[in-house]
Homo-oligomer: A and B are copies of this chain.
């Protein structure tokens, strides 16, 4: 029976925006089912249903039984361990919204108790033994997990993270070009990011109706640096960041609910593909999730649109379960070599959906139960 084989999973930060998105996306997942929900102490002890009354933000709902789960205190890793021992928990998705240091030590506390942590938070992203995964781009970084476990004397627990939502729309296309043998030296990126990226309550409506906010704290640094770790190499038990490409990012908040758009100008190394080659590389790109036919994997990681005015967030964000990156306006640059516009769904591909895909990958690789 399929149900018997499903891995019971937990969501830390289950009442927040990304936590809700995890729970909604897992409602009918073939491999995982939500059996454990944890949030801040003030919600601990409540039924999930009661805690979410009037706070559930999504149009799709949660899976069977989730409303009746009793919220645990996310700070209490021991409670999670007990759930593991009772067969109610295999691993956790971390969508914690706390101070960075608190998340860092809390995720370690879970992992130390033998509970794998697939995290959406940024706290652990720059630990050299923590893989920052985009399943189509650097699945081999999972190889750091045994090293991480050994170094920290952890048994089955480990921490794996995903990168910031702002880089999804250019990271896969960038990687596809590198994989095809073209070096990329430099990238200018301007993002137009959706309000859901700031969580809930997040961006006040008075700041964004009929307006643009040309600043998102910390976002430009993440957009410039995280790609280098993702493109890095495992050496001496560490993920050593790549040294190229150099990225300059301007990050803006715009009045869009979901879907981050990026305007990109890209400079190749000495060897430069034609626009047609670029299009061919992108439209034929496929990765390990596609090869493994993972449940959350989009059929095509990159979708090209030929219309002059696409991609657009409202019309393209949901492409292929909101897991594909949609590209358009592929054209020469007057300064660099190539310009394009990329788009991806920030709370699905860029957050919960990407996390689930990472978990599927790690399950397929044997790291999860």
List residues of A whose CB falls within 8 A of some B CB. Answer: 17, 53-54, 57-60, 186, 188, 190, 192, 195-196, 200-215, 217, 224, 246-248, 250, 252, 254-257, 261, 263, 265, 306-319, 328-329, 333-336, 339, 341
Contacts and interface: CB of A to CB of B under 8 A. Distances in A.
Nearest to A17: B206
Contacts of A213: 309, 312
Contact of A59 (B257, B316, B328): B316
Contact of A210 (B310, B313, B319, B336): B313
A355 to B, nearest CB: 20
Contact of A205 (B54, B255, B312): B255
A188 B265 contact: yes
Given A200-B206, A334-B246, A212 B339 contact: no
A217 B28 CA distance: 36
A200 B204 contact: yes
Nearest to A254: B254
A218 to B, nearest CB: 11
Contacts of A319: 59
A214 B311 contact: yes
A212 B256 contact: yes
A312 B195 contact: no
Given A190-B263, A202-B206, A246-B335, A312 B57 contact: no
A214 B54 contact: no
19 contacts: A54-B309, A59-B314, A195-B205, A195-B209, A203-B204, A204-B205, A205-B209, A207-B312, A209-B255, A209-B256, A209-B257, A211-B256, A211-B314, A211-B315, A214-B312, A214-B329, A214-B341, A215-B308, A224-B334
A257 B214 contact: no
Contacts of A201: 201, 204, 206-207
Contacts of A311: 214
Given A205-B207, A210-B257, 7 more contacts: A53-B307, A209-B255, A209-B314, A214-B309, A246-B335, A248-B334, A257-B314
A46 B308 CA distance: 20
Contacts of A312: 207, 211-214
A246 B335 CA distance: 7
Contact of A328 (B190, B214, B255, B256): B214
A145 to B, nearest CB: 31
Contacts of A190: 190, 250, 263
A310 B337 CA distance: 31
Contacts of A210: 209-210, 255-257, 313-314
B250 A339 contact: yes
Nearest to A315: B59
Contacts of A316: 59
A211 B313 contact: yes
Contacts of A211: 256, 312-315
Most buried by B among A196, A204, A311, A313: A204
Contacts of A59: 314-319
A260 to B, nearest CB: 10
A65 B220 CA distance: 37
A66 B365 CA distance: 41
Contacts of A215: 308-309, 329
Nearest to A203: B205
Nearest to A201: B204
A260 B192 CA distance: 14
